[in-house]
Amino acid sequence: MVNNGHTIQADVANGGVIEVDGVPYTLVQFHFHAPSEHTVGGKRFAMETHFVHKSAKGELAVIGVLHEAGDANEALAPLWSALPNTTEEKKPLAKFDLASVLPADRSMYRYAGSLTTPPCTEGVRWQLLQSPTSVSDAQVKALNAIIKPNARPIQPQKARDVLKEALAKLTANR
């Protein structure tokens, strides 16, 4: 894991593959935003995790997991015990089950969007899981003590189509 000054990012080797519309994407990294960068029904959440995947052609697909204020997220505990405190500080990624961060209900919103950090490259296939998991106030404060609130301003939907569907073709392979 690395503190890159904007977020805490975990680079992943052999993180598994998802399939989106028949195209395989390999997990390359995941990172955190507090507060969330997405809203649902105008509501922003306490935190959001982005699982960034890349295809053989270099195209990106991101799974977003929303975290609402509530109980501590036990799946994140191994990571939170080793958050890198200073910019460019690197710490070994604690072993944990990536799937444990995902909610049990895998229904999602899908849309074509962009990266949320500059240069905000378009063409990203977003899968935002509809059911949030919990995160404690202490966990959010621990992240924000290291990284200032790092959410991109809410963007207008414009003509962007947002599809709501069950998680059918998005399957993890280990």
**pLDDT tens digit sequence for 106-116:** 999 999 988 88
- Paired with 24 in beta bridges are 19
- Residue tagged active-site, from 6, 33, 50, 53: 6
Instruction: Return the biggest CA–CA distance within the chain.
Output: 42
Specify the fold of 2-165. Carbonic Anhydrase II (3.10.200)
CB 150 within 8 A of CB 164: no
pTM: 0.90
Q: What is the pLDDT of residues 38-74, one digit of tens each?
A: 999 889 999 999 999 999 999 999 999 999 999 999 9
pLDDT at 167 over 70: no
Domain boundaries defined on the chain: 2-165
Distance CA 139, CA 72 (A): 7
Structural tokens at position 95: 């072993």
pLDDT at 92: 87
Q: Residue 156 burial (CB < 10 Å; 0-12/13-18/19+)?
A: exposed
pLDDT at 165: 63
pLDDT at 153: 86
| Residue-level length of the chain | 174
Structural tokens at position 23: 């195209």
Q: How many CA atoms lie within 13 A of 47 on its CB side?
A: 27
Respond yes or no: is residue 53 known to be catalytic: no
- Paired with 124 in beta bridges are 113
